[in-house]
Amino acid sequence: MIVPPPGPARPLSATGVVLGIAVVIASALGGYAYYRLSKPSHPTIYAVTPTAPPPATAEAAVADTPAAQPDATATERKIPERVPDLALPGLGGGLHKLSEWAGRPLLINFWATWCEPCRREIPLLKSLRKEHAAKRLEIVGIAIDFLDPVRMYVAERGMDYPILLGERGGFEAAAAFGMDTVLPFSVFADAQGRVVALKVGELHRDEAELILDRIAALDSGHLSLKAARDEINAGIARLAASRPLPGAGAAQ
């Protein structure tokens, strides 16, 4: 999809206690304003909004690269062949490298507390981690946000997978994966650390299962890397074309 220009931050819905709402809204607006106004040398971050599925011809643009939904800036930069060994702080303050999870399939999810589609993904990510535990799948969230709202949100939502903080190095981390900072986006890697797929926008269960199934076949030797990427590209395009658009009378 062509990502539209960023719009103003929207207030969060009125749920929970009044104090909690005020803190979340303040952090959302503050985080959004911080990245828009105080970091002019970086691209603006904003949430991907759904639009019509991309034309079929766009798929060819990523046919020989790690599979990405061809709907945003993923094709403007080079997606790395392997997961870069980035180091970012965890919520406890210590630095963690992505290489800590070497030897197992990874789903690296870039998100923020103020991003509505990011928030919608969280229950799915928690479920995927449990359901694919036997295959040693690890999910690592990289929050492009401030420490305090992230800590609060992680505790409230019971996010039990590793969270790294991109308050300072988040833009560089996104760029290392070939992306401007549009949120959310998810990177899928196999047990050898090869980037197999990159999904821009909200991740849906059918897309995640498709990608993880091909990664399992890749790790078991039943698919080549190229075949896995090709099948993911074709499958994601089919799913995107069949998914109802917002306002069409059906939920996504």
The reported pTM is 0.72
What pLDDT, on a 0 to 100 scale, did the predictor assign at position 246? Answer: 63
Compute the residue count for the chain.
252
CB count, 10 Å around CB of 240? Answer: 19
Q: Kindly provide the residue ranges of all beta strands, DSSP E only, lying in the chain, ordered along the sequence.
A: 46-47, 67-68, 87-89, 95-97, 106-111, 138-143, 163-165, 182-183, 185-189, 195-200
pLDDT tens-digit readout, 73-131: 344 568 899 999 999 999 999 999 999 999 999 999 999 999 999 999 999 999 999 99
Residue 90's beta-bridge partner residues?
164
What pLDDT, on a 0 to 100 scale, did the predictor assign at position 201? Answer: 93
CA torsion through residues 145, 201, 94, 138, sign: positive
b/e 115-149 (16+ beta carbons within 10 angstroms → b): bbbbbebbebbbebbeebeeeebbbbbbbbbbeeb
Q: What is the mean pLDDT of the chain?
A: 77
Inter-axis angle of helices 225-242 and 205-219, to 10 degrees?
170
Tell me the one-letter amino acid at 252.
Q
CA distances to 23, 147, 151, 221 from 170, rounded to whole Å, are 22, 12, 16, 34
Domain segments of the chain as ranges:
18-242
What pLDDT, on a 0 to 100 scale, did the predictor assign at position 17? Answer: 37
The CATH homologous superfamily of the domain defined by 18-242: Glutaredoxin (3.40.30.10)
pLDDT tens-digit readout, 184-229: 999 999 999 999 999 999 999 999 999 999 999 999 999 999 999 9
Question: Contact 201/169 with Cβ under 8 angstroms?
Answer: no
The number of CA neighbours under 13 Å toward the Cβ of 8 is 2
Dihedral (C-alpha) 222, 223, 228, 231: value to the nearest 10 degrees? -80
- Considering the chain, what percentage of its residues have pLDDT values greater than 70? 66
CA distances to 19, 93, 204, 234 from 209, rounded to whole Å, are 38, 33, 9, 14
Inter-axis angle of helices 205-219 and 116-131, to 10 degrees?
40
Q: What's the DSSP call for residue 82?
A: B
What pLDDT, on a 0 to 100 scale, did the predictor assign at position 16? Answer: 42
Question: Contact 28/183 with Cβ under 8 angstroms?
Answer: no
